[in-house]
Structure 1
Amino acid sequence: MIAAEPPNLPAGESPDLILVPATASERIASIKLNSVAWKGPLDVETYIAREDHLLRQRLTRDGLTCWILVDRNEPEDNRTILSSCESYRKTALLAHDGQIEKVATHGVGSVYCRPEFRGKGYAKRMLEELSTKLETWGMEKEQRRTSLFTVLFSDIGKKFYAQFGWRPFSSSHMSLPASASGLDKAVTRDLFAEDVQKTLCSEKVLAQLHDQMLVASQKSSSAKIAILPNFDHYLWHWAREEFYAENMISERSPPVVKGAGDDKAGVYCAWNRNFGELPEDNVLYILRWVYDEPTSPAEEQITIQAMAAILRRAQQEAHEWNMSKVEFWNPTPLLQKAVALVDPKAELVHREKESICSLRWTGEQQGLGKDVEWWLNEKYTWC
């Protein structure tokens, strides 16, 4: 249940406020509260069902924590939720000083304070508490008992979260309109879920990432981190689109084409469909690209042409699912050249308000230096 607003709300700096994991019923209460902002085209009960569906996915079923800021004097399951958020446990790679290791980290999402409680300092207090709690949360069995970084994606600009240490990183994107024509599907190969696992999540691909980060760490002193692009991330994103398709589009089956590739060129991408409240909110997001860096001008042209063909295939898929556009984050110079082949007028957009990729680095306290590079800052990392 959602507790009624108390007659005298505590101050944001009150020593009686604590940040704690929500009970099962309090988690539902927090979802009902934030549904005002995030349920989109779903009704509240379907939105709760969506959140429960996502909770059962491999990425989150053992690693998602719903946090609530409450008064310590109130009883469990009857506490007034002053502010809430979620943390998602993730695995990352860390490269430094010619070494590389797997480390545990967290993504932060669903940061919410109900409108009538805003301006009282509750969100600020929650994030102050959260930033330190996540340094050791769930780290008991890890080799490193303190995490090195956490990430979040701000929809309120770059300044608010920066005061708690989540520094804004590169947050650019390019987009192409959905299109019904322009490519024979035979030019590229459609990827189904098992194909994405084989092409984007193979041992070879992960070994290449490992080696590239290792070499880079030998050439510069700054630490490099990358959230591991394992198959669990894709399954979580696809669970969202499949839930929407099943609950909103009764006339067709859930989508099964999860990306596209060119085997000859060795270029692949995985995508998912975002179903929004308005037609323009329907977006086909490319989650991640995989390709070998060209070693000659001829190889570069082959790679760019393959990328362009895959982008045209994505435009077709977007059109078939009534998406408004195709969008992809932080495109490399090669991808920007491919976009120019498809649409010379497309521009690189630097986001200033929405989905600002932010990272809180605490590695300096553990002897890893002040600077950190965020590798693979692509849409698959979003939470």
Structure 2
Amino acid sequence: MASTYSLSELTLVKATPEQAIITNKNSFGEWGTHLSLEQYLSRETSLASLPFTSENFTVWVLVPRSTPETTTNILSACETFLRPALIISSSLQKQNCYSIASVFTPQEHRKNGYASYMMELLGKKLKENFQEVGFSFLYSDVGPVFYSRHGWKVFEHKEIQFNIENENFDSITSEAINVTQLSYSDIEEITKYDCSLIEKEIDFNSTKYKVVSLPTFECFEWTFARSEFYAKVKGFKEPNIWGAKVTNKEDKVIGFVLWTYNFSDNTLQILRIRSPDTNTTKLLIRQAKLYASYYNFKKITVWNPDLKLFTETVFIEGGELIERTKSLPSLAWYNNKSSSSSKDDVEWILNEMYAWC
């Protein structure tokens, strides 16, 4: 039977390498779907070596104060990723933010308040750096209440799902004269272009702070690596197309879409989409459908799209707008002028799937 500790006996620390391995072993039973333990640990090691994680990734563990390096009494754990961000009020500030992932309490330690206490301590640690880190966010799979109690307020969580069964793809390539597919080598350039435009397009006429976690190449690289890992494990041909762009007659990019392949759910997930109009949106979605069909995927998902650009596309392309019940985007705002974290103070720009981790 597992020992029970009072919360006053506990502390939150950065995990040792040995503790980090134990946290992955602990979570395998719940998150290691379709993988063996060896494969699961290999995936985590591989992802941790990428630029997105190698210097900006921390595993946190809730442990007894008396044995902070314990590998047998890790009561709860989570991960944080430090990422570049923008905060906009009357001016633009380049800061960082944290994304939080893999919040997990082993079965034998549940019902003791450990996860709640861990999030309370984590929130305090992250907020201490408010001058460099403006906010943190996570994606809740346990509904809107738990994390909200600790400062992470739920934001918009709409999703468009496109069902692509019985789709005719013959017309896609013929109509998409100005569409070019994006291979891995194209992604860094397109993400730099995107980030530069985000800064130029900022609207300062708002009573709210605006925040955005920037869609950098490194976060896409990390997500693509997950897809490639599952492709190998499940015996699929590794993907080599990760999106598409639409250009004008002068070969200037006017819109693009970046996606990833979820081989566990047989879904093509759109990570980021930039489009100036409904026609461009339709072209990009049809390209996504084409590449989903190569793996016999039946569904495409888009998180929190600009509905002005999708209304016609949804109707024509057979999409459905729903509210997600999982992966609810939740954000804590670290405004040093306020003693509380208020959702009403903040507008979350580009609340799209590229930010998930």
User: What one-letter code is carried by the residue in structure 2 that aligns with 1:107?
Assistant: S
1:20 Cα deviation from its structure 2 partner: 0.7
In structure 1, the residue corresponding to 2:311 is in which secondary structure?
Answer: helix
CA distance in 2, matches of 1:230, 1:200: 6
Note if 1:70 corresponds to 2:57: no
**Number of the residue aligned with 2:326:** 354
In structure 1, the residue corresponding to 2:115 is in which secondary structure?
Answer: helix
**Number of the residue aligned with 1:287:** 271
Note if 1:115 corresponds to 2:80: no
Determine which of 241, 262, 266 is the counterpart of 1:257: 241
CA distance in 1, matches of 2:68, 2:187: 47
1:121-171 deviation digits (Å, cap 9, x = unpaired): 0001100001111124xx5xxxx6452210000001111100001000001
Question: Does the aligned pair in 2 maintain the 1:200–1:269 contact within 8 Å?
Answer: no
**Number of the residue aligned with 2:259:** 271
TM-score by length of 2: 0.91
Question: Does the aligned pair in 1 maintain the 2:209–2:345 contact within 8 Å?
Answer: yes
Matches within 5 A, 1:212-231: 212-213=201-202, 216-217=203-204, 219-231=205-217
Q: Unmatched 5+ residue regions in structure 1?
A: 293-302
1:260 Cα deviation from its structure 2 partner: 1.4
CA distance in 1, matches of 2:68, 2:275: 54
1:96 Cα deviation from its structure 2 partner: 0.8
**Number of the residue aligned with 2:46:** 53
Determine which of 312, 327, 337 is the counterpart of 1:337: 312
Note if 1:237 corresponds to 2:230: no
CA distance in 2, matches of 1:310, 1:212: 21
Note if 1:158 corresponds to 2:130: no
CA distance in 1, matches of 2:188, 2:310: 22
**Number of the residue aligned with 2:282:** 308
CA distance in 2, matches of 1:105, 1:164: 17
**Number of the residue aligned with 1:173:** 159
Determine which of 292, 295, 300 is the counterpart of 1:326: 300
CA distance in 2, matches of 1:282, 1:113: 28
Note if 1:317 corresponds to 2:291: yes
**Number of the residue aligned with 2:96:** 104
CA distance in 2, matches of 1:29, 1:78: 7
In structure 1, the residue corresponding to 2:201 is in which secondary structure?
Answer: helix
Question: Does the aligned pair in 2 maintain the 1:23–1:77 contact within 8 Å?
Answer: no
CA distance in 2, matches of 1:37, 1:379: 22
Between stretches 192-201 and 363-372, larger displacement belongs to 363-372
**Number of the residue aligned with 1:149:** 135
Distance 1:134 1:79, change over 3 A: farther
Question: Does the aligned pair in 1 maintain the 2:50–2:222 contact within 8 Å?
Answer: yes
Matches within 5 A, 1:36-51: 36-51=29-44
Question: Does the aligned pair in 2 maintain the 1:178–1:316 contact within 8 Å?
Answer: no
1:179-230 deviation digits (Å, cap 9, x = unpaired): 553333352321112223333432xx323211222xx22x122111100111
User: What one-letter code is carried by the residue in structure 1 that aligns with 2:271?
Assistant: L
**Number of the residue aligned with 1:298:** none
1:82-127 deviation digits (Å, cap 9, x = unpaired): 0111001111011111x10210110000001112221110001100
1:324 Cα deviation from its structure 2 partner: 2.7
Question: Does the aligned pair in 1 maintain the 2:275–2:309 contact within 8 Å?
Answer: no
1:33-81 deviation digits (Å, cap 9, x = unpaired): 0111111100111001101111111111101111111111126243411
Question: Does the aligned pair in 1 maintain the 2:95–2:132 contact within 8 Å?
Answer: no
**Number of the residue aligned with 1:211:** 200
Determine which of 188, 192, 197 is the counterpart of 2:188: 197
In structure 2, the residue corresponding to 1:339 is in which secondary structure?
Answer: helix
Question: Does the aligned pair in 2 maintain the 1:181–1:316 contact within 8 Å?
Answer: no
**Number of the residue aligned with 2:17:** 24
CA distance in 2, matches of 1:242, 1:350: 29
Determine which of 70, 90, 95 is the counterpart of 2:88: 95
The percentage of aligned residue pairs carrying the same residue is: 30
CA distance in 2, matches of 1:231, 1:324: 27
CA distance in 2, matches of 1:336, 1:51: 39
Question: Does the aligned pair in 1 maintain the 2:211–2:348 contact within 8 Å?
Answer: yes
CA distance in 2, matches of 1:232, 1:375: 19
User: What one-letter code is carried by the residue in structure 1 that aligns with 2:229?
Assistant: F
User: What one-letter code is carried by the residue in structure 2 that aligns with 1:151?
Assistant: F
1:314 Cα deviation from its structure 2 partner: 1.1
User: What one-letter code is carried by the residue in structure 2 that aligns with 1:102?
Assistant: K
CA distance in 1, matches of 2:353, 2:313: 19
Distance 1:323 1:220, change over 3 A: same
CA distance in 2, matches of 1:193, 1:78: 39
